[in-house]
Amino acid sequence: MKVYLDLVFFINIFFDFFILGAVKVILKEKVSWKRIVLGSVVGGFSIFLLFLSLSSFQLFIVKLVFSVVLILICFGRRNFLYDFLYFYFISVSLGGFLYLLDISFTYQNSGVLFFDSNFGINLLVFLIISPIFLFVEVKERRRFKRFQGLIHSVVIVKNGKKYRLKGLLDTGNQLVDPYSGKSVVLVNCGVFIPYRKFYYIPYQGVNSKGVIKSCKVDYVLVDDKKFSCVLGFSKDYFHLQGVDCILPNQFKEDL
């Protein structure tokens, strides 16, 4: 079997560039693309580690050290741990995806037996698919990070009892109790917080209007910060990745 070392070297640079670029974009690292290119070239030389007479464990340690050097060249020491972890996380994600793709097309199964179908995926296809996969990965991770940045730990204190919830800060929630002037925390349908006395708060949306059943509470803790507000109970269930309540925009300045 012939191995074209120069081709493998440039393929290594190609993958390192896109992986390091993904780390830069996801973590918003303020480094130039020149450093990413430099790191990719340095990473390309890791292919020559395969020619060293080392055991599997020794090779693993050397690759780990090589990765540390690579991250330091590209991003420096300021955010090293996150850079290092994301570099490996993205590498494993991409490698697993390409491996699954290759197995799916290269092998066929008959029951529990697998055999070579004599149909492999062309290297060019891998080089085209990899940036697309990383683009989707980066896009979804940035969306996830933005969403997670709006998630807060919420503790509702009513009659001395505490109810721990997961809250989402929604800039669109401008609802205010017209009677007390307090902001309204909208609780998801199905979340049980007992109350004896309640009243209705009118609301008006873009395409709807009505009233929301509400009650008073002692106070609300959002990330250990105390707020005075009232609870509003949603009539419908909102599906927001396990969110129990929606926090009002008025909380934004203090969080």
Choosing from 101, 124, 148, the residue where a domain stops is 148
Domain tally, the chain: 2
Q: Are residues 130 and 164 in the same domain?
A: no
Structure tokens at 85: 């972890």
Q: How many CB atoms are closer than 10 A to CB 222?
A: 21
CATH number, residue 200: 2.40.70
Q: Are residues 63 and 112 in the same domain?
A: yes
pLDDT in tens, 153-171: 999 999 999 999 999 998 8
Choosing from 115, 148, 181, the residue where a domain stops is 148
4 band by pLDDT with thresholds 50, 70 and 90: low
* 62 closest CA partner among 46, 73, 75, 77: 46
Q: Is the pLDDT of residue 15 over 80?
A: yes
Looking at residue 106, its pLDDT comes to 63
Contact 20, 87 (CB under 8 A): yes
Looking at residue 114, its pLDDT comes to 41
| Prediction pTM value | 0.57
121 band by pLDDT with thresholds 50, 70 and 90: low
Looking at residue 110, its pLDDT comes to 47
2 band by pLDDT with thresholds 50, 70 and 90: low
pLDDT, greater one: 225 or 173: 225
Choosing from 127, 148, 169, the residue where a domain stops is 148
Structure tokens at 245: 């309540």
Q: Are residues 159 and 101 in the same domain?
A: no
Q: Are residues 139 and 155 in the same domain?
A: no
Q: Are residues 93 and 177 in the same domain?
A: no
